[in-house]
Chains A and B, each alone.
Chain A
């Protein structure tokens, strides 16, 4: 809509433009106003609510023709004017439009190029962020470290300043710049006062970390023990040394010295404990080859700490380091001892199964025994030789008296050697007390073994250890070591106990056979004896086997006891022992298989010394076998006393006793005991007989002769 003002005022472009602008703004307002129905004048040609019909009819009604004509003219002019205005406007704006279109086109092409550049930029940025991430990743872990390093560096700078301060102060004073000196001092004083409150030193966390690392390593055998020592020495000990040196220079006052010592003491205590733990672990767990490595590690450790000891004279570092080494060495000795114990157990059980599977005659007892002796003596020697690595001349601690006392005397000589030797003897003796009893041959063999070990190897091994480990002959050392004589006594006791157990076991076997046979038989009824009972023959046969086993290990006479008993028998071969007693007139007059009366028996007792029937066996074939015989006969006696005999029962006993008398004499050391027992058996049988009529001696001899 055009405003009538446009026609009334001078047509002016600029004013027109401003009017246009104001129109648009007003129009906006007016359209708003029209919509609410305000100021609507249908006759205002420039108004929004202009109605041509109403305007025309109003003009026609109110104006005369002339004014109408004038009006028409005026309106035609105005229309023409407006058209031309419009044309001008259109042209005017068109050129602007063209130029705007051009501009837009140009912008379009420009934007295109810009977009390309933007893309490039985005690519570059993303690449950069990628690289940044990479960098962060690489650097990330070390950031704390870097930060710390930076902090440390800063701290060091500060420290450097503090360290340089005394020199600088002196310098300044000499130069006379007291003002400057005081300022420098004040500055330093503040920071020093601040850090004076700190309980520990800046180095402590590092020490703790090193200790922690070492402790972690000490728990496992993964790392080489040498490496472990190196790490400890090179890092922890060295740093500690530096710390001590530097600290001592800076803070010479006694209080700070005490503080340092306390700190140093705590670190060293932990360190020594850790090293001791690691060494002991090494000593325990490493196999037979561990010695040299452990020794080298100990040596290195000891040297390093000795060096440190020169620096720090307090706290007896050297002594304590030596104690750690001693502990490790002693632990190693204990480990070796444990291995020896295992070896012994294995050897004994091996021997046991060997004897259990093989028959008594198919194995050579002396050979087995010699094998056992060699095996165990060699094992002990090897163990001692292995431990000698600790005493090599190039080892720094090998000559220390404390080490010698602890390791050589106590650990090796006493705990390892004397301990093992004692253990071996008691271990063997323990078998004698086992129930059920182990194979008798094992007992016999071990008894001889103990004896032989005592005689041959005990002294040898002890002397060897004394020499190899340079055990001094001082009273102090002797007080620490079980004397050889005591060990020797233990071995003798074990041997005697084992031998006694053997006598009991094999005598018990024979006794059991006799007991069962006596129990099972009806002695009251029965026919006249024609032969020796089978079980009695069996006993004699078994006795031959026992005799063979015993004589393969034991000599005729008790060793060391002097030739007691039949010296003439020792020349006999064992085969001749199976021969019967030569029936000389002398032997016949000595003994007849006729039961003496009870009165005689009492008389016999009155006039003979009390016979120790079942005394301990001595270390000699005759004594051992006669112990077996006595046990068997004593049992026979007791069994006979529990029975009641008829006439023929008694005569059977007579025959059996005579047979035994004829064959047993060769096995016994003291014939009189066998005589006595056989007599007692006969007397008891006669006493327990309801019809005591004995057999003619000649008939008895005939029957025995025939068998």
Chain B
């Protein structure tokens, strides 16, 4: 059976093109388990920036889309609430021309409600990879419903918004620090403000992630100094960080993600191009380091189901899918190995020594410009998407050989 499976040819990646530059990409945890991604355009001088909600159809290997109007505001970041796929947040740039010639630009953020799909009125427009570049004008554009945003003290430039994995909460990452927001009962309110201070020196946070373990009471942020700071939201902000990892990266730390299956473990990426894996109980040294990217490593994410699979994208236009089995929650020996004799076990390992080795599984070569975002599909562990600055979204599969190696 195995040999037949190996003979299977991997599905080719699906490419979807935008006409403007883009940085914002997020996976949508659709309720019907369809494979959805949402991307936002970044056009500074464009009349209509858009959010594209893309649904991947595995049978035809194609995507269908819904488009939402985001106005003149160029989108820098988009995120979708894990508990509500219709609730999304964007961080955007708004240019205002005040009386005369002096323009001003301000970063803002807003929560949106995606309108319910009306099946009969707007049939999903299917487009395969061939006509991707030209098709967006054909579909109708829906409008977003603003839920709200609040002005925060010393907010500075917002960077992104991280929804809480369980509760109706979120944390806004901005120059001024982390703002814990309550989103329940139809209104946004500030729960706590964790200022971006490190003793006397001012930090700037770039990205943040919730710790999914222990009912998600901790959030960790990546700083421009290259460090990581973790906070427990149950503690008063004056207590300061509970996790301090200094010099996680040489240069700015760009992204951080918790291992969904193994508590205390997290991954970070940064301007030194390295992906480092940390155990928050031993913050002095990384558990593991990957040096794959030749320039900034912009994003890193664990597969939500099989945490040995790690996705990372960088400004060298590469997306790496790596298997880091040695530090994953996956046991070193599978169950039937334990039952076997030692000799048998050794034999097996000799036969397939690559089984247990950490390795690069695949590289997405389809991008030609910097990749700022790469995410796993929230509903399918074998699907991921990456977005490069030139507006190209690539939806790729985990190679089948790897998939069966993990499953079998």
Interface residues of A (CB under 8 A from B): 433, 435-437, 504, 508, 511-512, 515, 524-525, 602, 605, 610, 613-615, 631, 634-635, 638, 641, 644, 646, 687-691
Q: With A508-B250, A644-B93 given, is the CB distance from A638 to B368 under 8 Å?
A: no
Q: Which residue of A lies closest to B95 (CB)?
A: A690
B304 at the interface (CB under 8 A from A): no
User: Please, how many angstroms separate the alpha-carbon atoms of A210 and B216 in the complex?
Assistant: 73
**With A524-B105, A644-B44: A610-B368 Cβ-Cβ less than 8 Å:** yes
Q: Which residues of B have CB within 8 Å of A615?
A: 294
Q: Please name all residues of chain B whose beta carbon is closer than 8 Å to the beta carbon of A689 when the two chains form the complex.
A: 44
Contact A436–B93 (Cβ < 8 Å) = no
Per-residue 0/1 for B262-275: is the Cβ within 8 Å of any A Cβ (1 yes, 0 no)? 00000000011100
Identify which of B250, B251, B271, B294 gathers the most chain A CB atoms within 10 Å of its CB. Answer: B294
A649: shortest Cβ distance to chain B, in Å? 11
Please, which residue of chain B has its CB at the minimum distance from the CB of A680?
B369
Which residues of the partner chain B approach A641 to less than 8 Å between Cβ atoms?
Answer: 370, 389
Task: Return A497 CB to nearest CB of chain B, in Å.
Answer: 10
Minimum CB–CB distance from B246 to chain A (whole Å) comes to: 10
Q: From B247, which residue of chain A is reached at the shortest CB distance? A: A436
> CB within 8 A of B103: which of A524, A614, A634, A688?
A524
B212 to chain A, nearest CB (A): 28
A688→B44 contact, CB < 8 A: yes
Given A605-B368, A644-B44, A687-B44, also A638-B251 (CB < 8 A): no
B21 proximal to A (CB < 8 A): yes
A525 to B295, CA, bound (A): 30
Contact: A614 with B44, CB < 8 Å? no
Could you give, for residues 71-104 of chain B, a 1 whenever the CB lies within 8 Å of some chain A CB and a 0 otherwise? 0000000000000000000000101000000111
Seed contacts A512-B251, A524-B104; 6 additional CB < 8 Å A-B pairs = A437-B250, A504-B272, A525-B102, A638-B296, A638-B370, A688-B44
Query: Please, which residues of chain A bring their CB within 8 A of the CB of B272?
Result: 504, 508
CA of A152 to CA of B271, assembled, Å:
88
Q: Give the nearest-CB partner of A525 in chain B.
A: B102
Smallest beta-carbon distance A381→chain B, Å: 36
Q: How far is the CB of B392 from chain A (nearest CB, A)?
A: 11
Interface residues on B, range: 20 to 34
- CB-defined contacts of A602 to chain B, threshold 8 Å: 390
The complex places the Cα of A525 from the Cα of B44 at a distance, in Å, of: 17
Instruction: Report yes or no: A687 in contact with B21, Cβ–Cβ below 8 A.
Output: yes
Q: Does B316 contact A (CB under 8 A)?
A: yes
Judged by a CB distance under 8 angstroms, whether B405 is at the interface is no
A515: chain B residues at CB < 8 Å are 251-252, 271
Contact of A690 (CB < 8 Å), options: B45, B316, B389: B45
Q: Does B396 contact A (CB under 8 A)?
A: no
Whether B368 lies near A690 (C-beta < 8 A) is no
6 contacts between A and B (CB under 8 A): A435-B289, A436-B247, A515-B252, A610-B368, A613-B294, A635-B295
List the interface of chain B (C-beta within 8 A of A): 21, 44-45, 93, 95, 102-105, 247, 250-252, 271-273, 289, 291, 294-296, 315-316, 368, 370, 389-390
> A610: which B residues are within 8 A, CB to CB?
368
Mostly helix, strand, loop or mixed at chain B's interface? loop
- Cα A435 to Cα B246 in complex, Å, equals 11
B406 CB, nearest partner CB in chain A, Å? 29
The answer on a CB contact under 8 Å between B250 and A435 is: yes
* Interchain CB contact under 8 A, B295 and A690: no
Which 10 A-B pairs give the minimum distances between C-beta atoms? A614-B294, A644-B105, A638-B315, A690-B103, A634-B295, A690-B95, A614-B316, A614-B295, A524-B105, A605-B368
Q: How far is the CB of A676 from chain B (nearest CB, A)?
A: 12
The answer to whether A638 and B295 touch (CB under 8 A), given A644-B44, A690-B45, is yes
A436 touches B44 (CB 8 A): no
CA of A615 to CA of B271, assembled, Å: 17
Q: Are B93 and A435 neighbours in the complex by a CB distance under 8 Å?
A: no
B44 pairs with A435, CB closer than 8 A: no
In the assembled complex, which residues on chain A have CB atoms less than 8 Å from the CB atom of B315? 634, 638
Q: How far is the CB of B70 from chain A (nearest CB, A)?
A: 17
> In the complex, are the beta carbons of B370 and A435 less than 8 A apart?
no
Task: Give the shortest distance, in Å, between B101 (CB) and chain A (any CB).
Answer: 9
Beta-carbon nearest neighbor of B316 in chain A: A614
- Bound: A155/B298 CA distance, A: 93
B residues less than 8 Å from A688 (CB atoms): 44
Chain A residue at minimal CB-CB distance from B97: A690
- Chain B residues positioned under 8 Å from A511 (CB to CB): 251, 271
Taking the nearest CB of chain B, how far is it from the CB of A27, in angstroms?
119
Given known contacts A644-B93, A646-B103, A631 and B251 CB-to-CB distance under 8 angstroms: no
Give the chain B neighbours of A687 by CB distance below 8 A: 21, 44
- Closest beta carbon of chain B to A475's beta carbon, Å: 25
List of A residues within 8 angstroms of B368 by Cβ: 605, 610
A524 to B106, CA, bound (A): 11
B390 contact set on A, CB distance < 8 A: 602
User: How far, in angstroms, from A691 to B104 measured CA to CA in the complex?
Assistant: 12
CA distance A504 to B45 in the complex (A): 35
In the complex, chain B residues whose CB is within 8 Å of the CB of A433: 289, 291
- Chain A nearest CB from B366 CB (Å) reads 11
Distance (whole angstroms) from the CB of B358 to the closest CB of chain A: 16
A435 to B291, CA, bound (A): 12
Docked pose: A641 CA to B271 CA in angstroms: 15
Which of A524, A613, A646 is in CB contact (< 8 Å) with B316?
A: A613
CA distance A610 to B368 in the complex (A): 8
Contacts of B21 in A (CB 8 A): 687
**B-chain residues with CB within 8 Å of residue A525 when the two chains form the complex:** 102
Residues of B within 8 A of A613 (CB): 294-295, 316
The residue on B at minimum CB distance from A646 is B103
- In this complex, what residue of B is CB-closest to A688? B44
> How far does the Cβ of B316 sit from chain A's closest Cβ, in whole Å?
6
Interfacial chain A residues near B271, Cβ < 8 Å: 511, 515, 635
- A523 nearest CB neighbor, chain B only: B105
Given A631-B295, A644-B93, does the pair A508, B370 have CB atoms closer than 8 Å? no
Residues on B with C-beta less than 8 A from A635 are 271, 295-296
Neighbouring B residues of A605 by C-beta, 8 Å: 368
- Given known contacts A631-B295, A634-B315, A644-B93, A508 and B103 CB-to-CB distance under 8 angstroms: no
